[in-house]
Structure 1
Amino acid sequence: MPTCLIAGGGLAGLACAAALADTGFSVDLFEARPFLGGRAASYSLHTGGETVEIDNCQHILLRCCVNLLDFYRRLGVEDKIRFYDAIVFLEPGGRRSVLRAGPWPEPFHFTGSLARLRFLGWRDKAALVRATGAVGWERRRRRDLDRITFLDWLREKRQTRRAIERFWEPVIVSALNEAPGRVAARYGLQVIWLGFLARRDNYHLGVPAVSLGRLYHPDLWRSRPRVRLHLGATVERFVFDGGCVAGAVVSGEQKQADYYVSAVDFDRARELLPELELDAAGWEHVPITGIHLWFDRRVTDLPHAALLGRTIQWFFDHGEGRYLQLVVSASRSLLPMSRDAIVELAVRELAEFLPAVREAKLERSHVVKEVRATVSPAPGHEARRPGSHTPWRNLFLAGDWTRSGWPSTMEGAVRSGYLAAEAVTNRAGRLRRFVLPERE
């Protein structure tokens, strides 16, 4: 039985381990932290005299994230994702608009819903139609989309200021954790096409019904005896012998395998593999801030909503309308703020959308600043991303920062893990394909 050692227990490493184990490999996965999931993790918080398990930040997916869903199926937790076919937008004052697919054929299934968006005027809606009509053709035929920003592309399509600020920006920032003026057009068009236009249900919003840690808890791996998880165990370095890796030093002890996968984040990969000469100057990390609020009463009847025109971008109900998780993507402006100031801002803004907040008492709160949450998908970024292969015959790379065909997202992380698994099986002379085709 061929063996593989994986460094890193985030989504990329876990996806690689699951795929290889299903192909007959014996896998040892080492994760430095005492939990799995990397930046998509949960932990116990002691607050208000009790212990609750919370996510570091709300993570969601769309039905177009086929490889992430495949990974959940492999672990038997696909039923823990609750899908919604309506995206609710709230304006200050509480007015609602709903985006939902109608009876028209793809890619025109949002025509009626877009026409009914109350926060856009008719000029704005006409601009949306003009831009969405160009997405499918241009994303496959234009050759400059990695050199211009998505904002450049929107202006080229004569988008109104209101359409950009109230529709395009919320969609792109939520999907890519970056502003349209910093995102390469290729990624923006990918989000719009795959997430909204290619299939009528691709946009369905998937929200975990359990904490993130429960989606890949160590207990779930007990039915996979070929995968051995080692938590709190750091891969300190690889041992090289010519063109191959001869071992990995873990907590001072050398471990050996036939194949090795580095599935750590970009910064750790630079430390583990300085020979790759990964240039940090070409990489910018973008923060996400998660804000957890517990009120003494129900403040909303909505499971979630996108909030327009304010710092807070989304809320998600995690407990009878009383416990809300708020999200601020690309949250550079919040980094210098104290946690108390962030909570004050969040409650004040939330009250503009949910009047019941004004009468409610905030019982406790918690703020998580994920400073290096994702890699900015800027113009020119794709050319800097390495693939799965390395100069060493039996060492491969995975991670959302590698070239997966997707930007730095959960889907991108799983795709990278599957691509690394494909590279391992190919080198072992038993090639398997794990990456699923896009839903288009």
Structure 2
Amino acid sequence: MTTTDPGSHGPAPTDAEPPTAVVVGGGIAGTTTALSLADAGVRVTLLEGRPRLGGLAFSFQRGDLTVDNGQHVYLRCCTAYRWFLDRIDATALAPVQDRLTVPVVDAASRVRTPSGEGPRLGTLRRSALPVPLHLTRSLAAYPHLSVAERLSVARAALALKALDPADPALDAQDFGSWLARHGQSARAVEALWDLVGVATLNAVAGDVSLALAAMVFRTGLLQEPGAADIGWASVPLGELHDTLARKALDTAGVHTELRTRVAGISPTPDGRWTVKAPGGEITADTVVLAAPQRETHDLLPPGALDAPGKLLALGTSPILNLHVIYDRTVLRRPFFAALGSPVQWVFDRTAASGLTEGQYLAVSQSAVQHEIDEPVAVLRERYLPELERLLPATRGAEVRDFFVTRERTATFTPAPGSGALRPGARTRSPGLFLAGAWTATGWPATMEGAVRSGVSAADAALHALGRPRDHLFREAA
């Protein structure tokens, strides 16, 4: 590689040629940015240090199985991610439930069943009624809360709906204290608020910014009846975020280089940018850093942000995934959530992984700072008996494989004050922009947030370049 423009091996372009851009990072945010720039006629080079695209939503091979590093879901209200799926021609491969249905199993409450004693099952399900009546029937019959707790939850939900997530004062408060002030018992927090919040925010209520929590619950449960309907990939994540994303990038004319870790970026005297990569340097009009927080911090030139140390102060939080292969079918539902157990969410990944005999369950564990470095043997000893408590059909079943995947920096830490630490897409350096789920999207660190960040970065870059922006994702009015 020599000093050239993206995707070319010639001199810098003349004024008649299209502008050029380098996007650093091939996760969902970087892919979104690259596609959005290319669709506006910008010549884009996408540089990714890994041998694949997809960032933290990827797949790998384990023997004959195709394994996702972790279970990723989205909601019907994740309109930007749904737009992204459509852009890469993947919508049919990640369908959404017709209607929100979440089985919730309580390991601590035992009942008699036709097959013997088992955990009590409840279901959170929406109706077709308007908000907030769409959840009334389900909440009224929810067996994991007392009648008084259900009424208290309804009152808290109405109070939460009245909050403005954009209010900076909410960012300084924690959600757990707010719930306590609004009469929520420890059981209500466990059986409802944390059931949803831990999975979406990667933190328990007491450790979460009230602004972020209000955004999640208002958007998902308190605005549109179908907003919380759950979607997930019916194929390995790599087929979406690597294979189909790469095809879309190629079709759009994006030049993608994998196994290319950027060593530095610097402005040029003529107002452009030089990107230093292992094979040489690339010169471009615009650079978008769509890398993780620390990597972005290390690449930022002096003066690009008022306080670059905020990126490190924002912090990161881990997610742990346990993968269990049984010799027989032990779960008849696509997924369930658990109470009264260290187990949080369990998903059936049998068909998606290519397993032809037995069943493959993925156990998704968020907010697990205390467990992320535990040895596999310790996790196996802790969690297999818990799965037996939750799934009586596992008793007597043979565990053919048990393995663990760990994402130690899966999300930014959504603590009180985190909103003030998240930078926007624009920097103080002309032509340099930021993308990533950790930027100021207003959303937690989700695939939806990643797409929104990529759109914001592309929007800012295209505005600076004087290029059309009418093709970008926009929230419906």
Shift of residue 18 of structure 1?
1.4
Shift of residue 347 of structure 1?
1.2
- Say if 2:330 is the partner of 1:299: yes
Find the partner of 1:272 among 274, 279, 299.
299
Shift of residue 108 of structure 1?
2.1
8 Å contact from structure 2 (residues 273, 286) kept in 1: no
- Say if 2:232 is the partner of 1:202: no
Deviates more, 1:119-128 or 1:269-278: 269-278
SS in 2 for 1:110: helix
Alpha-carbon distance in 1 for matches of 2:166, 2:288: 35
- Say if 2:353 is the partner of 1:340: no
- CA deviations on 1:75-123 (whole Å, 9 max, x unpaired) are 0001111322211111113321111112432222100111111111111
1:415-426 → structure 2 map (5 Å cutoff)? 415-426=452-463
Deviates more, 1:406-415 or 1:66-75: 406-415
Alpha-carbon distance in 2 for matches of 1:256, 1:127: 59
8 Å contact from structure 2 (residues 106, 338) kept in 1: yes
> What letter matches 1:365 in structure 2?
F
Shift of residue 284 of structure 1?
2.1
Alpha-carbon distance in 2 for matches of 1:11, 1:103: 32
Alpha-carbon distance in 2 for matches of 1:403, 1:66: 17
8 Å contact from structure 1 (residues 5, 257) kept in 2: yes
Shift of residue 242 of structure 1?
5.3
> What letter matches 2:392 in structure 1?
P
Which TM-score applies when normalising by structure 1? Answer: 0.95
8 Å contact from structure 1 (residues 108, 197) kept in 2: no
1:141-156 → structure 2 map (5 Å cutoff)? 144-156=169-181
Deviates more, 1:101-110 or 1:198-207: 101-110
1:253 — aligned with what?
280
Shift of residue 359 of structure 1?
1.5
Shift of residue 198 of structure 1?
0.7
8 Å contact from structure 2 (residues 216, 443) kept in 1: no
Alpha-carbon distance in 2 for matches of 1:8, 1:69: 21
Alpha-carbon distance in 1 for matches of 2:159, 2:293: 35
SS in 2 for 1:369: strand
1:170 — aligned with what?
195
Shift of residue 310 of structure 1?
1.5
Shift of residue 246 of structure 1?
2.6
2:110 — aligned with what?
none
2:430 — aligned with what?
393
- Say if 2:469 is the partner of 1:432: yes
8 Å contact from structure 1 (residues 42, 56) kept in 2: yes
Deviates more, 1:137-146 or 1:153-162: 137-146
Deviates more, 1:280-289 or 1:338-347: 280-289
Identity of aligned residues (%): 34
1:380 — aligned with what?
417
SS in 1 for 2:83: helix
- Say if 2:107 is the partner of 1:70: no
Unaligned runs of 5+ in 1: none
Q: 1:243 to 1:61 in 2, by over 3 A?
A: farther
Alpha-carbon distance in 1 for matches of 2:475, 2:181: 30
- Say if 2:108 is the partner of 1:81: no
- CA deviations on 1:285-333 (whole Å, 9 max, x unpaired) are 1110011110000001010000112111000001167100111101112
Find the partner of 1:32 among 27, 35, 49.
49
Paired residues in the alignment total 435
2:10 — aligned with what?
none
Shift of residue 161 of structure 1?
1.9
8 Å contact from structure 1 (residues 66, 436) kept in 2: no
- CA deviations on 1:201-225 (whole Å, 9 max, x unpaired) are 1111111111111102245236514
SS in 2 for 1:391: coil
> What letter matches 2:198 in structure 1?
V
SS in 2 for 1:88: strand
2:314 — aligned with what?
283
SS in 2 for 1:119: coil
> What letter matches 1:315 in structure 2?
V
Alpha-carbon distance in 2 for matches of 1:142, 1:391: 25
- CA deviations on 1:318-371 (whole Å, 9 max, x unpaired) are 116710011110111212421111122221111111001111000012101111
Alpha-carbon distance in 1 for matches of 2:252, 2:476: 31
Find the partner of 1:22 among 20, 39, 42.
39
SS in 1 for 2:347: strand
> What letter matches 2:179 in structure 1?
L
8 Å contact from structure 1 (residues 149, 181) kept in 2: yes
- Say if 2:439 is the partner of 1:363: no
SS in 1 for 2:381: helix
- CA deviations on 1:239-274 (whole Å, 9 max, x unpaired) are 223594431111140112221111110010111115
Alpha-carbon distance in 2 for matches of 1:141, 1:294: 44
Q: 1:438 to 1:195 in 2, by over 3 A?
A: farther
1:354 — aligned with what?
391
SS in 1 for 2:149: helix
8 Å contact from structure 1 (residues 243, 392) kept in 2: no
SS in 1 for 2:298: helix
Which TM-score applies when normalising by structure 2? Answer: 0.87
Q: 1:263 to 1:243 in 2, by over 3 A?
A: farther
Alpha-carbon distance in 2 for matches of 1:57, 1:222: 24
- Say if 2:361 is the partner of 1:330: no
Alpha-carbon distance in 2 for matches of 1:38, 1:258: 25
8 Å contact from structure 1 (residues 166, 309) kept in 2: no
Deviates more, 1:253-262 or 1:269-278: 269-278
Q: 1:228 to 1:312 in 2, by over 3 A?
A: same
8 Å contact from structure 1 (residues 244, 395) kept in 2: no
2:5 — aligned with what?
none
Alpha-carbon distance in 1 for matches of 2:381, 2:371: 12
2:115 — aligned with what?
none
Alpha-carbon distance in 2 for matches of 1:141, 1:134: 16
Alpha-carbon distance in 2 for matches of 1:242, 1:133: 56
